[in-house]
Chains A and B, each alone.
Chain A
């Protein structure tokens, strides 16, 4: 069943993922799956913010302070990004521990 996130969802990145900055992007490694993922500059910021459990609304607030972006687009894009990372298993929902 697909788990739909909303702005109050609390997410954090999985502690066992190893990442490195390349240019202004980030590449992270999922050792369990043996897969590499690349994320862009904004995605890297979300990655850094989600080191500790944080709501998607708080991520958006932080991003709007860092980048020139309107609120509606920021919310939509952030939600979609977090949704994809939760589905790939790179982010976890706070309720999952």
Chain B
């Protein structure tokens, strides 16, 4: 077995990124990072792209400041990092503002909701609402309160994407589909309102109502913002990371920031194998050089799935939607789902695209056709999008 943390196959840029993240967690000495900066041939443009892709700009930048390597990096690159960090942090603050605006509006209308990810999770895990990178805001709303959501969000200036949903929301039919959220936009800023936590929530044993009853709160700007209870949050983050094959280090870093992760047993739930993969990845990438924790016991399947995830994490240049990565993600979730029922649940989710579902509403007795027509529609969209892209770029 390879020594922990040796990571011999990683590119220098990725090695440095991992070292900086580990140092920020107190799992590696700052001197080790400094040594890497000074001895490895780091391509700083590549490193910058890597940091952006993994959504850890602020954490990495702060750690670079701590180790004081601005001179080694070069003033031009350092200035770029600084500007990038500043603009992202300001954007995160604007997300906080948006979150509080919506929270207050939902509270005023007595809408029962939870926030997923975003500034609330940042406040809970990082102790600072604007620290964690987020592109949009996600809310889970209890179904009985869902009809009030469009009115409130429209009042705040948000517009809904997907008119088909409008027509079906009142009779509740929208909730029976395989989709799990709805988009709203305001000046390029996106909000997702979920009626299910995730498209993979079949792995959860508890309903939204139960998750809501176990909710936690964080205080942000004098406002009490509800989010998932800590154990549920870790489960959700695990589910989210699994669904994306952990291809961004931010998701694993979130798990590292959770305080009670060590007390969570793998258990016999649908998430047990996903947790096994997660913990193996944590061990391989976020090792604690000071402690003597041994590699968690995991079966062959977990080891293979973790290997697949690392391939996704490292090969960021291909982009998250390259065919090999999509296939890798699909296999990861399929094998992480325990039991035939969960595996079938995943395949049904996989082969029915919500956009197709929204565009061509079918009568209930014909809904099984989504599973067959969905993939064809997906391929059709890919071809059309590629054609449009190449048409635009050739002009």
A21 and B82 alpha carbons, distance in the complex (Å): 12
A22 and B93 alpha carbons, distance in the complex (Å): 11
Give residues of chain A (11-54) contacting chain B, Cβ–Cβ below 8 Å. Answer: 14-24, 27, 29, 31, 34, 36
Do A20 and B222 have beta carbons less than 8 Å apart? no
Q: Which residue of B lies closest to A34 (CB)?
A: B97
Task: Kindly identify which residue among A22, A31, A36 contacts B100, using a CB–CB cutoff of 8 Å.
Answer: A31
Contacts of A21 in B (CB 8 A): 62, 89, 128
Do B222 and A16 have beta carbons less than 8 Å apart? yes
Contacts of B131 in A (CB 8 A): 20
Do B96 and A18 have beta carbons less than 8 Å apart? yes
Give residues of chain B (62-78) contacting chain A, Cβ–Cβ below 8 Å. Answer: 62, 65
A34 and B222 alpha carbons, distance in the complex (Å): 15
Write out, one digit per residue, whether chain B residues 126-148 have a CB within 8 A of any chain A CB (1) or not (0): 00111100000000000000000
Q: Tell me if B85 is interfacial: C-beta within 8 Å of chain A.
A: yes
B101 to chain A, nearest CB (A): 8
| A contact residues, range | 10 to 19
Q: Which residue of A lies closest to B86 (CB)?
A: A22
Write out, one digit per residue, whether chain B residues 96-118 have a CB within 8 A of any chain A CB (1) or not (0): 11001100000000000000000
Task: Kindly identify which residue among B86, B89, B92, B221 contacts A16, using a CB–CB cutoff of 8 Å.
Answer: B221
Check A18/B129 contact, CB under 8 A, given A23-B65, A27-B93, A29-B97. Answer: yes
**In the complex, number of A-B residue pairs with CB atoms less than 8 Å apart:** 50
Do A29 and B223 have beta carbons less than 8 Å apart? no
Do B220 and A20 have beta carbons less than 8 Å apart? no
Q: Tell me if B266 is interfacial: C-beta within 8 Å of chain A.
A: no
Do B92 and A20 have beta carbons less than 8 Å apart? yes
Contacts of A34 in B (CB 8 A): 97
Do B96 and A27 have beta carbons less than 8 Å apart? no
Task: Kindly identify which residue among A18, A23, A24 contacts B93, using a CB–CB cutoff of 8 Å.
Answer: A18
Q: Which residue of A lies closest to B65 (CB)?
A: A23
Do A23 and B222 have beta carbons less than 8 Å apart? no
Do A22 and B85 have beta carbons less than 8 Å apart? yes
Q: Tell me if B289 is interfacial: C-beta within 8 Å of chain A.
A: no
Q: Tell me if B344 is interfacial: C-beta within 8 Å of chain A.
A: no
Q: Tell me if B90 is interfacial: C-beta within 8 Å of chain A.
A: yes
A61 and B78 alpha carbons, distance in the complex (Å): 35
A36 and B93 alpha carbons, distance in the complex (Å): 9
Q: Which residue of A lies closest to B104 (CB)?
A: A31
B223 to chain A, nearest CB (A): 7
Task: Kindly identify which residue among B65, B100, B128, B223 contacts A20, using a CB–CB cutoff of 8 Å.
Answer: B128
Contacts of A36 in B (CB 8 A): 90, 93
Residues of B participating in the A interface, judged by any CB pair closer than 8 Å: 62, 65, 82, 85-86, 89-90, 92-94, 96-97, 100-101, 128-131, 220-223
Residues of A participating in the B interface, judged by any CB pair closer than 8 Å: 14-24, 27, 29, 31, 34, 36
Would you list the 6 A-B pairs with minimal beta carbon distance, nearest first? A16-B222, A20-B130, A18-B221, A16-B221, A15-B222, A22-B89
21 A-B residue pairs with CB within 8 Å: A14-B222, A16-B222, A18-B97, A18-B100, A18-B129, A18-B130, A18-B221, A20-B89, A20-B128, A20-B130, A21-B62, A22-B85, A22-B89, A23-B82, A23-B85, A23-B86, A24-B65, A27-B89, A29-B221, A34-B97, A36-B93
Q: A20-B128, A36-B93 are in contact. List 8 more A-B contacts (CB 8 A).
A: A14-B222, A18-B97, A18-B130, A21-B89, A27-B89, A27-B93, A31-B97, A31-B100
